[in-house]
Amino acid sequence: MTRIESNQAEDGQLALEPVNSEWEETIRVQQGMIFKFKKQSGRFVHTICHGELMDRMLPGQEEIAGKDLKDLLPLDKAVDVAAHYERAWQGEEKVTFEGESAGIHFLASLRPIKQSGRVVEVIGSAIDITERKQREQSLKESLRLNYKMIKLLPAAILVHDEAGIINYANDAAVKMMGAGSREELTGRPILELVHPDYRKLMEERFLTVSNGQEPLEFIEHKVSRLDGEVLDVESSCIYIYKNCRPVIQLVMHDITEKKRTEEMVRKSEKLAVVGQLAAGLAHEIRNPLTALKGFTQLLKSRNAVHHEFYEIMLAELDRIHFIINEFMVVAKPQAMRCQPNNVRHVLQSILKLLEPQAILNNIDVQTEFKSLCSLVDCDENQLKQVFVNVIKNAMDSMPSGGKLLVELEELPEGKLSIRFTDQGCGIPEEGISRLGEPFYTTKENGTGLGLMVSIKIVESLHGEFRAASRVNRGTTIEIILPVSRSRIPAGHAVLP
């Protein structure tokens, strides 16, 4: 190199010194951090490190050059970072990772510097993401709190995707639908839980809320539990996002008991009207009816012609008299004389009484009494009236004969179940809810008043009257009564 060339090189270096100094100062004050490192003797040694972030992450470290990771970070963190350094040193083009030092969260990016295809150094940069991590943590806490609130809400909540597949159910939904765990509901089509009569309606509502994204008003419909039981619910749905994906959230309230209460009030109002009507009719009809019957008997005794016509007239008058007596039971119920009675004894006495009628109608009466002595506080005569009504209805439903099964069983929580299962003509589904209504009957000559009085007696004993039926297959009537708290009287015999 000539003197001139040497002088020119020195002049160039002198000219670059202010630029290099300015560049280093720029790196030193920038908010992030820029660094380089090499791998020497199995150790990652930093060759340069500048930036405002370095001062905060590595307080007290005035000079980083020449230092290993283990000199700068706690051992566990140094080991984690070294794994990322190794990836870059092996030639991976871009390595990014997150870490934490001195309470500061950072995002680092590494790129290898190659010469002749071999990595000779790695350059890296890091930025402070502490605020972002804090926001993420705050969001996670909010989501966790929201999910906890949703999980514990008394309302049943089901979340499903746009394909209609359930991906979340809170505790109330698990309980309402009769599931043993959340997993029994997730993965199922939401419409599978909707009663068939309402599936088209709910499908349209899900489509509407997906398009409008506004919550829909509450409506009443039915759902089917996993065990097949049908519930009345009111529900609304809203279009939301879960994990950045659109989903539909269905909120349901069980109103089954509310509907039952409303039905009981409706029936009570009917009973009140029937009672008032019965009192008036009985008074107005009974006196002229007595006169009609008396004169008909007188005419029959004096006229031998058309004798069969008088028999028909008297039979119809007796029928009217019977209906009036049933009216009077509704209008003026007898006072109850409650005392502990053995239901097994009452059942056996009624079955013995009705045995000739059962034999005459070719009905095989079978009993399964799993409770030897079950006391119920009741009026024995009224309880007999209930059993007679139910058993006679069962026999009337089997004009060609069949089997009647009478079961007696103690239930948990101090209750007693009495079931009557026949093989008769059955009751249509829409008729089950109308049982107990005055004048609703499936029998040609029935009035429905006998069953109405029976249900009234059972309810007065704080019991339940349940019915299940299938047309042409038979009917099961179940009466559930609370067991008496009284002890069995001394010397009270138990029939075998």
pLDDT in tens, 248-273: 889 999 999 888 877 776 766 666 66
Same domain, 34 and 91: yes
Beta bridge partners of 158: 169, 250
Helix (H) or strand (E) holding 380: helix 380-396
> Are the CB atoms for 90 and 81 separated by under 8 Å?
no
Q: Which range among 29-43, 275-289, 466-480 has the greatest average pLDDT?
A: 466-480
Looking at residue 300, which CATH number applies to its domain? 1.10.287
Same domain, 349 and 455: yes
Q: What is the pLDDT of residue 15?
A: 44
Looking at residue 231, which CATH number applies to its domain? 3.30.450.20
Q: What is the pLDDT of residue 391?
A: 93
In a domain, 10, yes or no: no
Least confident of 139-143, 350-354, 375-379: 139-143
259's CB contacts (< 8 A; 6+ apart) are: 232
305 has a pLDDT exceeding 90: no
Question: For 6-35, what is the mean pLDDT?
Answer: 55
In a domain, 120, yes or no: yes
Write phi, then psi, for 472 (nearest 5 degrees).
65, 10
- State the average pLDDT for the chain: 82
Domain boundary among 73, 97, 132: 132
Instruction: Summarize pLDDT for 451-486 with one digit per residue, the tens.
Output: 888 888 898 889 999 999 998 899 999 999 999 876
In a domain, 118, yes or no: yes
The pTM assigned to this predicted structure is 0.43
Same domain, 90 and 158: no
Same domain, 57 and 78: yes
Same domain, 478 and 351: yes
In a domain, 446, yes or no: yes
Same domain, 81 and 158: no
Q: What is the pLDDT of residue 184?
A: 94
Instruction: Summarize pLDDT for 111-155 with one digit per residue, the tens.
Output: 999 998 899 999 999 999 988 888 888 777 766 766 666 665 678
Cross-sheet strand order for the sheet of 95-101: 43-50, 33-40, 118-128, 104-115, 95-101
3-state secondary structure of 177: coil
Q: What is the pLDDT of residue 493?
A: 40
d(CA 105, CA 127): 9
- The structural domain count of the chain equals 4
Question: For 94-106, what is the mean pLDDT?
Answer: 90
Beta bridge partners of 233: 221, 254
Q: What is the pLDDT of residue 175?
A: 92
Which residue range is the domain that position 269 belongs to? 259-331
Domain boundary among 254, 278, 302: 254
Looking at residue 384, which CATH number applies to its domain? 3.30.565.10
> Are the CB atoms for 484 and 343 separated by under 8 Å?
no
Domain boundary among 98, 132, 166: 132
